[in-house]
Amino acid sequence: MSTLAVAVTAMAGNPLLETYKTPHQTIPFNEIKTEHYFPAFEEAMKQHIINVDAIVNNPQAPTFENTIVALEHSGELLTKVSSPFHNLLSSETTDDLQKFAEKISPIVTEHANSINLNEKLFARVKAVYQQKDKLKLNPEQQMLLKDTYEGFTKSGANLSEADKAIYRELSKELNMLTLQYGQNVLKETNKYSLLITNKALLSGLPADFMDALASNARKAGKEGWMLNLKATCYVPFMKYADNRDLRRELYMANTSKCMLGGEFDNRENVKKIVNARLKIANLLGYKSYADYELVDRMAENKANVYNLLDKLLKAYKPEAVKEYNEVQEYANKKGAYFTVQPWDWSYYSEKLKDEKYAVNDEMLKPYFELENVKKGVFGLATRLYGIHFTKNTKIPVYNPEVDAYDVTDENGKFLAVLYTDFHPRDGKRAGAWMNDFKAQSMVGKTDSRPQITVVMNFTRPTDTKPALLTYDELKTFLHEFGHSLHGMLTKCTYESLSGTNVYRDFVELPSQIMENWASEKEFLDGFAKHYKTGEKIPAELIQKIKDSENFNNAYLCLRQLSFCYLDMGWHTIEKPFEGDLISNEKELMASTQVLPMVPNTSMSPTFSHIFSGGYAAGYYSYKWAEVLDADAFSVFSKNGIFDKKTADSFRQNILVKGGTEHPMVLYKRFRGQEPTIDAILKRDGISGVGSR
C-alpha cells in the first residue's frame, strides 16, 4: 500500500490527506480548515519516518536507486501537506494560521533534523556518493547525488554527537526567529494608518489615487482619505504628494517600522538571526554564513560577489551622483531651497522626468488595464513558447480574488495550473513572488505536471475605474510571470531539481529577462489600449517610454547595490554581532549612498528578503542575474524579440532543465559563451569598466 493510501486509512476525513478529487488534483481550499493542519503534519511526518527507516534498514547494499532516489520520494506526503500551509501563510494568513505556524515550526525543524542527522542514513548516502565516479549516472542523476550528499553535510551530518545537539537547537532557534521576524513586519505594516480629513493637504495626488484613499477610509468606517504603508499607497503618495511634511511623515513611518520598541520590534531579532547563522556556519567549519551559503552558487565565494558589486559601484556611482545633482538643481529651480532628502526624491524625480520626457504613470496607466495586461503577458508566452491559458472556474481557490488557469502547449496538451493573485490584503505580505503548490516530477513514466502561483500587490480597482497598472507594475508582472514559466515549462525527473530549484543567483534570470519586453513596441501594440476609448497606445508614447528608460537608472542600481552590500555585510561577520544595528547598517551602505542618510531609520528590521525570505547572503543574485538577463536578451534583440528559434533555445536549455546541471553549463549552451557586464552597461547607458 502506498504512503498516501496508508495516510488516508489512518486519517479519513482530513482533506489534506485524502486523494484530491478536484481538477488536476488541485488543492481543495474550500474544504481545508486550520484545525486540519496539525493532524495532517503529524501523519505526514510519521509516514516520512517510516519511509526513511525502510531505506536505513534495507539489507541490500546502498545504491543510487534504493537510497538516493528512495530518499527523494520519501517525504511526498509531507510536501503535499506543507505546501498549501506555507503558501497561505504568505498570501492569506490569519491569526490562527500564524499561531499554528509558531506551534508547528519547531516540530517540523526537529523532524528535518532527525533525518538529516541520522547517522545510518547518511552512511548509506555517503557510500553511494563515494562511488559517484564509478556509477553510470546521467547529468541529472549526478546532480541529485551531489545535492543529496551536500544537503546532509550542510545540515550537520558530519558533526560529532555533541555538535549535532547544538545544531538541533540552533536550527530550531533560527527557524522561530525568522518566522517571528516576518510576522512582525506584516503586523507592523498593517497597524499603521493615517486619516486625512482636509483635502487640501493631498494636493498633487491623481484623482484615481484619491478614490483609492477614500475607499480605504470607508472600509475603516471613516470619512476622508486613509493612508497606509502598503506599496500601492506609499509609492504613489511619495511620487505625487505636494505636501512635504506629509511625505516626510510617511517616509519616517515606513523606514522606522519594527525598530521603535513595542511587540513588533525586530532589532533584537536581526542580531539573534545573524548570530545564530554565524554559529551554524562556524559549527560546520565555515568562517562566515556567506562562506557557508555560497558553496552552491554560481558566484562560488564572497570574493566573486564583491568583485561584481564593486565593478558595478565603480561604473554607476559617478552617473548616480550626476543624477542626484540634476534633481537637486531642478528642485531649486522650482523654489525648493533645501537639500533634497529621501522623502523628496521620488516627488522631484517624477516631475523632472515628466518635464524631460513628457511621460508619467498617469499617462500610461489608462493603457495598462489589468485584464488587458493579463492578455498581453499570456500572449507573450504564446508567441514565444506556444502555450495557452484557459480560466478554469472549477478549480478551488483560496480567495475569491484568485483565478486559476489551465495551461496547455501548442498541441493542447496539459502543462500546468497557474493561479494568479494580484491585489493587497491584510493577510498578504508585501511584495511579489512566485511559488508552487506542486512541483513537476516524473512519477514512474508519468510526467506529473506542476501547480504554480504568482502573487502580487497591484493597485486595486476603485469605484469608478478598473485596476490600472503603473509601468513598474507591468514589469513586476512580467518578472513574476518569468518565474512561473520556469516552473510551468520544466520537465525533469526529480522534483527537487525541477523548475526554480536552481542556484539562487541563477533563479532570477528567467524572471528578469521577461522585463525586457515591457518597452518593446511590438509587444505593447498587442494589448496596450485605452480602457475607455479602446485606442491603441500611441507610438510616440512608446517612444517616450524608451527614451526615459535610463532615467535615474544609475541611482536605482546603487539602491539595489546598497541592499546587496547590507546583506553581505550582515552575513560576512566572523564574530557575533553585539554592536549598534543602525550605525552598522549605515556603515555597510555608506559607499552606495547619494541621498542624505536620515537618523533613526533602518532597513534591516524590515528586510524580509534576507531575514525571513531565503535570500541571506544571496541578495546580490538580483544584480548577478541582471548581468545574465541583459546578456541573454541581447540574443533576442539581435534575432528578433519573438524569434522562435531563440525562444526555443532559451526554453530547452534554461526553462526546461531546472537545476539538473550546473547553471553556467546551461547558460553557455544557450548563449555560446560566458556572460560579461558589457550588455548591462550598454542597456543602462553607462560607460564601461570592462567585462566580468
Catalytic residue numbers, as ranges:
480
Strands 451-455 and 388-391: unpaired
- DSSP conformational letter for 676: -
Output the CA–CA distances (angstroms, integers) from residue 366 to 160, 178, 372, in the order listed: 63, 40, 11
Q: Provide φ and ψ at 442, rounded to 5°.
A: -95, 125
In angstroms, the CA 72 to CA 66 distance is 10
In angstroms, the CA 487 to CA 434 distance is 9
In angstroms, the CA 86 to CA 77 distance is 15
Q: DSSP letters of 141-158?
A: HHHHHHHHHHHHHHTTTT
Q: Provide φ and ψ at 226, rounded to 5°.
A: -105, 120
HEC per residue, 247-302: HHHHHHHHHCCCCCCCCCCCHHHHHHHHHHHHHHHHHCCCCCHHHHHHHHCCCCCH
- Tally the residues of the chain: 692
Q: Is there a contact between 642 and 383 (Cβ–Cβ < 8 Å)?
A: yes
Residue 463 burial (C-beta neighbours within 10 Å; 0-12, 13-18, 19+): exposed
In angstroms, the CA 403 to CA 419 distance is 6
Q: Is there a contact between 618 and 638 (Cβ–Cβ < 8 Å)?
A: no
Can you count the helices (H) and strands (E) in the chain?
Answer: 28, 9
How many of the other CB atoms lie within 10 Å of CB of 607?
23
Nearest CA-CA partner of 91 in 433, 327, 368: 433
Q: Is there a contact between 619 and 567 (Cβ–Cβ < 8 Å)?
A: yes
> Which residues neighbour 610 within 8 Å (Cβ) at sequence distance 6 or greater?
567, 570, 571, 616, 617, 618, 619
In angstroms, the CA 411 to CA 423 distance is 33
Cell output for 617: 547572503
Is the four-CA dihedral 157, 158, 159, 161 of positive or negative sign? positive
* Cα Rg of the chain, angstroms: 25
Q: Is there a contact between 211 and 303 (Cβ–Cβ < 8 Å)?
A: no
